[in-house]
Structure 1
C-alpha cells in the first residue's frame, strides 16, 4: 500500500498534504522531532523521532520504498528516498527524480561553498505563496495516483521486492 511520508519539521504544506491523502485514502506519516499536534484523522499519524541531526531523515529514508511518496525540501534526504524507489516532491510541487537530483545536489553544495567563502553573500528565495500551494496540490495528486499503480511485491510484474 502506498504511504505518504512528510518531512514535517519545516513543511509549509502539511494541511494540504493531509487533505489530498484523506481524499485519496492514502495513509500519511508526519515525521518530526516533536512539537506538532496529534493528527485527528485515522489515516494520518505522527511519528516522533529522537532529537538530533537528521533523525527524521534517517527514519523516512529507512521506511520509504517503491510505491511511496515523500515530501521534503531536504535534498540529501530526497536523494536517499529516490534511491530507495520512492517518488519525491518538494513543498513547491517540484518532482525530484534520478534525472534531476544530481544537479540539484551539486548546486546546493556550490552555494554552500560560496556562502562559506563570502559571509556577506546572502541567499534566500522568494516567499511561499498561493501559486506554490496550488502547484504542490496538483503534483501531489499526480504522484499519489501514479504511486498507487506501482507493484508492491514479487508476485506482481515489475515489482522490486519486499521492503
Structure 2
C-alpha cells in the first residue's frame, strides 16, 4: 500500500477541523470535509462534500467513500464502528482512537444513555471544550499521522 490515506472529517459540529487540516498539510495528506446542508463548511486547504440534510446522511457519505487505511475524525460512535469494519482508522476530537477493544463499550454506553433519555431521565452533557482537549488532539493526531506515513514508507521500500 503506497497510497497515502485520505482524512475524512465528520465536519458537522467538529471542533478540530482547522487543527486537523493544519496537521494533515504537514504530512501532505488530503482532507475531505463531509457536512450536511445546514452546516456547509468550506476551507481552502480541504475538499468539501455537502450532503442533503437527514439522519446520518454525512455518516453514510463518509462510510461509502472511506477505504482501508483512511482516517476519519468523528465523535459519533456508530460511524466509528462502521469505519473500523472497513479497516480504516477512527479518532475523536479529543485524540481518542476508536479500536475494536473500546468501540463495544462506547456503543453500549450510548445505548444506555438513549434508554435513560427515552424514559425521561437526564444525562450530564459533555464538559466545555478546553485548550487541553485541543493539545491532546494535536499530540495524538500527529502521532497517528507519523505512524501511518512511516508504514507507507516502509512498505514502499520493501
Where on the TM-score scale, by shorter chain, does this alignment land: which range? 0.7 to 0.9
Mapping for residues 43-62 of structure 1, pairs under 5 Å:
44-62=46-64
Contact 1:67 1:149 in 2 (8 A): no
Once residues 113 and 39 of structure 1 are traced to their aligned partners in structure 2, the CA distance between those partners, rounded to angstroms, is 38
In the alignment, structure 1 residue 36 sits paired with structure 2 residue 22 = no
- For residue 139 of structure 2, give the secondary structure of its aligned residue in structure 1: helix
Once residues 102 and 42 of structure 2 are traced to their aligned partners in structure 1, the CA distance between those partners, rounded to angstroms, is 34
Q: Which has the higher helix share?
A: 2
In structure 1, the residue matched to 2:105 is 103
The CA RMSD over aligned residues, in Å, is 1.7
In structure 1, the residue matched to 2:91 is 89
Tell me, which stretches of 5 or more residues in structure 2 are unaligned?
none
Do the aligned partners of residues 66 and 83 (structure 1) sit closer, same or farther apart at CA in structure 2, a change above 3 Å counting?
same
Tell me, which stretches of 5 or more residues in structure 1 are unaligned?
158-163
In structure 2, the residue matched to 1:148 is 149
Q: Report how many residues are paired.
A: 150
In structure 1, the residue matched to 2:79 is 77
**Could you give the per-residue CA deviations for residues 85-107 of structure 1, whole angstroms, max 9, x where no partner exists?**
11111111111111100010001
Once residues 78 and 151 of structure 2 are traced to their aligned partners in structure 1, the CA distance between those partners, rounded to angstroms, is 24
TM-score (norm 1): 0.85
Contact 2:116 2:123 in 1 (8 A): no
TM-score (norm 2): 0.87
Offset of 1:78 from its aligned partner?
A: 0.4
| Structure 1 residue ranges, 4+ long, deviating more than 6 angstroms after superposition | none
Contact 2:113 2:123 in 1 (8 A): no
